[in-house]
Amino acid sequence: MRVHVVQGEHFITDNPDAVLTTLLGSCVAACIRDPVAGVGGMNHFLLPGGHSPGVDRAAQRYGVHAMELLVNALLSSGARRERLEAKLFGGARLIDGLTDIGSQNADFALRFLAAEGIAHVGGSLRGEHGRKIQFWPVSGRARQSLMERESAQVFDVEKRIRPAAPPAEAGAVELF
pLDDT of residue 169: 59
Is there a domain that residue 7 lies in? yes
pLDDT of residue 157: 39
Residue range(s) defining the domain that contains residue 141 = 2-145
Is there a domain that residue 150 lies in? no
pLDDT of residue 154: 40
Spans of the chain below 70 pLDDT: 48-61, 149-176
Is there a domain that residue 121 lies in? yes
Is there a domain that residue 153 lies in? no
Is there a domain that residue 43 lies in? yes
Which one is catalytic: 23, 24, 27, 29?
A: 27
pLDDT of residue 170: 58
What sign does the CA torsion over 17, 140, 49, 22 have?
Answer: negative
pLDDT of residue 54: 45
Is there a domain that residue 174 lies in? no
pLDDT of residue 166: 55
DSSP β-ladder status, 141-146 and 10-13: unpaired
pLDDT of residue 94: 82
Helical segments of the chain, H only = 63-76, 101-116
| Structural domains of the chain, count | 1
pLDDT of residue 156: 40
Is there a domain that residue 170 lies in? no
Spell out the residues 6+ positions from residue 78 whose beta carbon is closer than 8 angstroms to its own.
14, 34, 37, 39
Is there a domain that residue 118 lies in? yes
DSSP β-ladder status, 19-24 and 2-4: parallel
Which CATH number covers residue 40?
Answer: 3.30.1330.200
Instruction: For residue 137, count CB atoms less than 10 angstroms from its CB and return exposed for 0-12, middle for 13-18, buried for 19 or more.
Output: buried
Does 27 qualify as catalytic in the annotation? yes
pLDDT of residue 15: 97
